[in-house]
Amino acid sequence: MNDEELSKLLNFLTEKTSRERSSRTKPDRDAMALAHVDMGNHVEPVPRKGFTRWPNWSAAFDAYCKTSRLAFRVRTFKTVQEYNWMHDVNLDEERFYNSFVNYRCIPSVFQKSRGGGKQHVGPNYTGCRARFDLKGAGISAAREASRHRLVVMNEFHLHNHPSGLHFGVKDFPRTALLRIQ
């Protein structure tokens, strides 16, 4: 089975912002977000296909992260067993691995320090709201049998920090010749 291009209705290209939540760490997160200087970094959207297998999605996602120089972490996920139980279907666990995964940009996730030693760097939290969901869904055209695919939806891809579109100190070649005048 090959991955397939989805119809425009199933591409879910409209951006969705996440809702504001309250938690114990909200005051800390708000203070760090205020200290951060936002920059509008609108990157390309995550690849849109109907992925037939988890390894196909994983390879496309890894290539996307490498070219855009962004990093995401899994915030929430649901297993295929949960999906099978809720929808009374029998999806293959090896093929789909997870039925739902919520990805968040790493600088959007705040985690308190777990160590007790001295830290020489602050947290990487910037309050970035970039996120997207990967969902296993039954899709079908008119008068066709439903086929299950992994589909990207609910994406917000405006980052408030630099990515591969910007150059930093580590991007300069180390073997450059210096011209002294």
Residue 173 resides in a domain: no
How many domains are there within the chain?
A: 1
pTM for this prediction = 0.63
Residue 7 resides in a domain: no
Domain that includes residue 29, residue range: 24-112+123-159
Question: For the segment 167-178, what is each residue's pLDDT rounded down to a tens digit?
Answer: 555 555 555 555
Question: For the segment 49-74, what is each residue's pLDDT rounded down to a tens digit?
Answer: 888 888 898 999 999 888 888 888 88
Q: Among 125, 129, 126, which Cα is nearest to 156's?
A: 129
Cα 50 from Cα 55, distance rounded (Å): 13
Determine the pLDDT at residue 33: 62
Residue 100 resides in a domain: yes
Residue 5 resides in a domain: no
Rounded alpha-carbon distances, angstroms, from residue 140 to 23, 98, 149: 40, 20, 10
Residue 35 resides in a domain: yes
User: 142 pLDDT band (50/70/90 cuts)?
Assistant: low
Q: How far is CA 100 from the centre of its chain?
A: 12
Residue 31 resides in a domain: yes
Residue 77 resides in a domain: yes
Residue 98 resides in a domain: yes
User: 160 pLDDT band (50/70/90 cuts)?
Assistant: low
pLDDT averaged over every residue in the chain? 72
Tokens coding 92: 């293959």
